[in-house]
Amino acid sequence: MSERHVAFLISNGYGPDVRVQKEAHTLAAAGYRATIVAWDREGRFPAHELERAPDALAVALTPWTNWIGPGPRPAAVYRVQVPAGYRTGRRLALRIPCYWWAAFGELRRAKPGVVHAHDLDTLPLAWWYGKWAGVPVIYDAREYYSGMVRANVGRTVSGVLEALERALAPRAAAVLTVGSRLAARLSAMGAAVTVLPNTQGLYEPRWADDQRRRVRGALGVPDGALLVGYVGQLAPDRVLAPALEAVAALPGVWMAVGGTGPREGEVRRAAEACPRILPLGQVALSQVAALVAASDVVYYGLNADDPNSFYFMPNLAFFALAVGRPLMVTPVGEIAEFVQRERCGIVLDSATGAAAVDALRRLSENNARAELARRARALGEARYNWARTAADLLRVYEGIS
């Protein structure tokens, strides 16, 4: 490309957005100028700021960078503050054009050499600007978007979004996605797809041991207890009941639940009935790895009725691999296929408390759990780490230059 300047488009407030942050600072470390144009729908963040690479990300990038002094230039973050909510159905469609128009103005001022659109709701804007400015567009498809919003916007609007993706994805210079199932779907549309999983930097075992002692002490979890960890949105498509019921039924097992959302009430009620269930509320991104390190098992459950669940491979799974912790998952999504294939945890027979009780009893056996943890860490070291994913990202950018 004529100018090594990339603008990332994201339809959330960038608080930060994990994937955008990793990609932006990776490219900055490789000599690109990175600009992030976000949609701060609730007016929660500064309109403009400069962000340097977080320490953990800087460490993850050191195997392939030659940073000198303070490192690469920071990423510039511009937030379009067009008021709107989340999960507001068709009313949100009336606000999206306002966001697009304001974000288009930011792009005109920034004059990037490439536009990197995250999720389908930013792709029309990226395509519009790309045509106007004559610059390539990269589409980062992180979700089965039309399926994810179907319950919120209805089948008609979801069908329009599906058609829009089929029309625009093949026109992008490159399409990135997070897993093999989404890659197969996008490839069938005629798109040139590269899988870039949401991997993390590896954490040293000594650091993990220190965090385990610190966090468990702060939470009041006994040394000999089995701690199940979950961090993520407490959204309708997440199924927490199997783990909550199993922990309540097993006296030696505790569970720490981090996150906010519609299912907070379910977690609070479970905690009131069982003091070994610990609701943590929102967990800062910088503290997620520490909570995973404190856990003996990392849980993830998905609603099989949600169309997006079939494609799901969550960020939390890659934190587990980076620290070396086994996973316990419901039999839904790409994550279940991954855990079964790679033998780095247990896939429940069904999304029920009884199945989770059986799994946690097996995971309470130290030798069996240690072998699963070893496999998880080996996967992180060999394939699923950000240093390797970063190199793949750079190859994509080199291919469109």
Taking the C-alpha atoms of residue 127 and residue 107, their distance in angstroms, rounded to an integer, is 12
**112-163 per-position pLDDT tens digit:** 999 999 999 999 999 999 999 999 999 999 999 999 988 888 888 899 999 9
Task: Identify whether the C-beta of residue 351 lies closer than 8 Å to the C-beta of residue 239.
Answer: yes
Backbone angles phi, psi at 172, to 5 degrees: -70, 150
CA 48 to chain CA centroid, nearest Å: 24
Residue 241 burial by CB count (10 A; 0-12/13-18/19+): exposed, middle or buried?
middle
Which structure tokens are listed for 309? 């669940």
The CATH architecture to which 205-382 belongs is 3-Layer(aba) Sandwich (3.40)
**347-373 per-position pLDDT tens digit:** 999 999 999 999 999 999 999 999 999
Report angle CA 351, 276, 288 to the nearest 5 degrees. Answer: 75
Residue 72 pLDDT exceeds 80: no
CA 182 to chain CA centroid, nearest Å: 14
Residue with tokens 């097993």: 250
Does an H or E element contain 106, and which?
Answer: helix 90-110
**240-277 per-position pLDDT tens digit:** 999 999 999 999 999 999 999 999 999 999 999 999 99
Residue 313 pLDDT exceeds 90: yes
Beta-sheet pairing, 297-300 with 75-80: unpaired
Question: How many helices (DSSP H) and strands (DSSP E) are in the chain?
Answer: 17, 14
**199-234 per-position pLDDT tens digit:** 999 999 999 999 999 999 999 999 999 999 999 999
Task: Identify whether the C-beta of residue 75 lies closer than 8 Å to the C-beta of residue 24.
Answer: yes
Q: What is the CA radius of gyration of the chain?
A: 21
Residue 1 pLDDT exceeds 70: no
Class of domain 5-200+385-399: alpha beta
Q: What percent of the chain shows pLDDT beyond 90?
A: 85
Domain borders along the chain are 5-200+385-399, 205-382
Backbone angles phi, psi at 137, to 5 degrees: -120, 135
Name the average pLDDT for the chain: 93
* Nearest to 232, CA basis, from 271, 276, 179, 285: 285
Q: Decide whether 5-200+385-399 matches 205-382 in CATH topology.
A: yes
* Nearest to 27, CA basis, from 140, 147, 133: 140
186 in helix, strand or coil? helix
Residue 257 is given by DSSP the state E
Report angle CA 243, 245, 249 to the nearest 5 degrees. Answer: 115
Residue 309 is given by DSSP the state G
The structure's pTM equals 0.93
pLDDT band at 68 (very low <50, low <70, confident <90, very high): very low
Residue 63 pLDDT exceeds 70: no
Taking the C-alpha atoms of residue 279 and residue 273, their distance in angstroms, rounded to an integer, is 12
From 93-97, 171-175, 191-195, 281-285, the region with the lowest mean pLDDT: 93-97
Within 13 Å, how many C-alpha atoms sit on residue 319's CB side? 26
At position 247, the amino acid (one-letter code) is V
Taking the C-alpha atoms of residue 130 and residue 137, their distance in angstroms, rounded to an integer, is 6
pLDDT of residue 56: 83
